[in-house]
Each structure stands twice: as structure tokens, then as C-alpha cells.
């Protein structure tokens, strides 16, 4: 699986991606805006474990973001079951060296297009920490709408924050 963006590629995982992913993921400026289940420190063992899981994914919903031939980020959906089965959650991160180049808004658009074309879903949702306006901007640039704010919905790094809920619907 391979989808070309302007200066990057979304592609499927390879066993060799672990070292590069470990290098770029091991960063408090990334961990601080993700769920606590995202490892910190991000060890090589964690990277190998993640890549191993991703090699077996079915359906395919999680891409490597490749820039200059290296795996430097991730974008993926978390599929949900029961009454939420047509409304997966979107997550993403990019190595700090590559921030500010407009990569992620484009990656989100490509992911949304891929997901609505290939999966039986009607909505893609993302929850953003209130101290992450950059990620809100990413979603707005990618066509998402802010639907609401869950007050005090999150605790991250010991601080209580609001969760901003964004979504895009299948048209």
C-alpha cells in the first residue's frame, strides 16, 4: 500500500522501520500531546513491538509517513466496535524535524480519502488536547469541523485539560 503526497509518502510498514520510528518518537514534544499509552521513553523494544503489530493489521488502517526514504511519523485509525463501529478515531504524529512543512494536513486528507473509499465507515473523529492548537489547525486545514469541547475531559502530564472533538463525515 502506497499513497503519494507532495513531499512524503504514506505507506505500509516494514520490519526495518523500527529504528527510525524509535528515533523520532522518543520525544517529549510528541508524547505530551498523545495518550499515555504512547511509550515514553520510546525504547527500541517499544518500536519493534509496535512495528510487529502493524505488519499484521487487517483491515489496513495505519500508515508510516515516509520522508526522504525514512519512516518519520505515523497516521492511523483506531477502529471501534459495537455502536461506534462506523466512527473510528484518527491519530497521528510526525518527527519534530519535519514540523511546519504542511505535511500532516495533507496526510490527514489522504487518510480520510483512503478510509472513506475502503472502509464501511461514515465518520472519522479526533480528540485534541486543549493545549494543542497546532493539531486543531491541522484538522481544520484537512476539512474537519470542531463539534464540541469536553470540559476537563483529560489529564495529561498531571494537568487537567479540555478535549476538543473534531470530525469529518462521509459526504
Chain residues in the site for ligand COA (CB under 6 A):
30, 33-34, 92-94, 99-105, 126, 128, 132-135, 137-138
- Output the smallest distance, CB 29 to ligand COA, in A: 6
Burial of 100 (0-12, 13-18, 19+ CB in 10 A): exposed
Given the complex with ligand COA, which of 15 and 145 has the nearer CB atom?
A: 145
* Grid cell at residue 107: 496526510
Given the complex with ligand COA, which of 60 and 91 has the nearer CB atom?
A: 91
Given the complex with ligand COA, which of 100 and 158 has the nearer CB atom?
A: 100
Given the complex with ligand COA, which of 121 and 125 has the nearer CB atom?
A: 125
- Output the smallest distance, CB 76 to ligand COA, in A: 12
* Grid cell at residue 127: 480528540
129 bridge partner residues: 163
- Our CA angle for 170, 74, 134, nearest 5°, is 75
- Output the smallest distance, CB 88 to ligand COA, in A: 14
- Output the smallest distance, CB 92 to ligand COA, in A: 5
Amino acid at each position: 500500500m502506497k499513497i503519494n503526497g507532495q513531499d512524503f509518502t504514506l505507506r505500509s510498514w516494514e520490519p526495518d522501520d523500527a529504528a527510525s520510528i524509535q528515533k523520532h518518537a522518543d520525544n517529549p514534544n510528541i508524547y505530551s500531546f498523545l495518550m499515555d499509552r504512547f511509550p515514553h521513553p520510546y525504547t527500541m523494544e517499544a518500536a519493534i513491538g509496535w512495528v510487529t503489530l502493524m505488519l499484521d493489521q487487517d483491515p489496513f488502517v495505519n500508515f508510516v509517513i515516509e520522508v526522504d526514504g525514512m519512516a518519520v511519523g505515523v497516521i492511523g485509525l483506531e477502529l471501534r466496535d459495537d455502536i461506534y463501529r462506523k466512527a473510528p478515531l484518527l491519530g497521528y504524529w510526525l518527527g519534530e524535524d519535519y514540523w511546519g512543512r504542511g505535511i500532516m494536513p495533507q496526510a490527514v486528507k489522504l487518510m480520510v480519502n483512503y478510509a472513506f473509499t475502503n472502509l464501511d465507515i461514515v465518520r472519522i473523529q479526533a480528540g485534541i488536547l486543549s493545549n494543542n492548537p497546532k493539531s486543531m489547525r491541522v484538522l481544520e486545514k484537512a476539512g474537519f469541523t470542531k463539534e464540541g469541547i469536553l470540559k476537563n475531559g483529560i489529564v495529561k502530564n498531571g494537568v487537567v485539560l479540555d478535549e476538543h472533538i473534531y470530525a469529518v463525515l462521509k459526504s
